[in-house]
Amino acid sequence: DTEVTQTPKHLVMGMTNKKSLKCEQHMGHRAMYWYKQKAKKPPELMFVYSYEKLSINESVPSRFSPECPNSSLLNLHLHALQPEDSALYLCASSLVGGTNTGELFFGEGSRLTVL
Amino acid sequence: GENVEQHPSTLSVQEGDSAVIKCTYSDSASNYFPWYKQELGKRPQLIIDIRSNVGEKKDQRIAVTLNKTAKHFSLHITETQPEDSAVYFCAYSPGNTGFQKLVFGTGTRLLVSP
């Protein structure tokens, strides 16, 4: 299995809602990532988990809360979002260490609309 | 700061022509430079990468060159085909992040006309 699977594909939520984005991979990758991508812009790193521990937080507002329950799963909990948070949220995974370290395998993304 | 400049922002070529995209970075400690292709509505996918211990790497019609002294790297696509049409992002990994952090360029929209 060489896929990163994200659910849901589309999500519409109000500013007072609580929702979660989910990501799963079974490639044995021990690094997992959340990126945010606005239309016609590059992906922007939000969080990195390495061996299930948060290793990088790019000063993301606390209304975004990541969670890595195990080596295959990554969640992004959303609460009290703003309309400007509407974007494509991409999950990715990669190996840690070794000669192929660095290549990111992206999921198809969850397109979030905040009303 | 951590940024990478990418040019051009759009590039239109005829099928069979070559395409060149250039990026300039600022962190002299960087040692990993990947290129990602993102087709419309699809996920970004790695097409080629280069590490700082080599100056050039080739994979069929795609090549990447790296000039560490000048802090720039370039993507070269030869014999372009319509299916090469996509947005291409260069990226680099800041020197102290163990490849885990990637800073992406602003992207180049390549259009290959038949």
| pLDDT tier at B3, thresholds 50, 70, 90 | confident
Lowest mean pLDDT among A62-66, A82-86, B2-6: B2-6
Q: Are B93 and A102 within 8 A, CB to CB?
A: yes
**B94 touching A (Cβ < 8 Å):** no
Over residues B14-19, the mean pLDDT reads: 98
Share of chain A above pLDDT 70, in %: 94
Nearest in space to B10 (alpha carbons), one of B76, B66, B85: B85
Q: Is the pLDDT of residue A38 over 70?
A: yes
Cβ pair A8, A107 in contact under 8 A: no
Long-range contacts of A80-85 (CB under 8 A, 24+ apart): A80/A15, A80/A16, A81/A13, A81/A15, A81/A17, A81/A112, A81/A114, A82/A15, A82/A114, A83/A15, A83/A114, A83/A115, A84/A114, A85/A112, A85/A114
* Cα angle value A115/A18/A66 (rounded, 5°): 110
Which residue from A41, A50, A107 is facing B100, i.e. has the nearest CB? A50
Give B53→chain A minimum CA distance, Å: 13
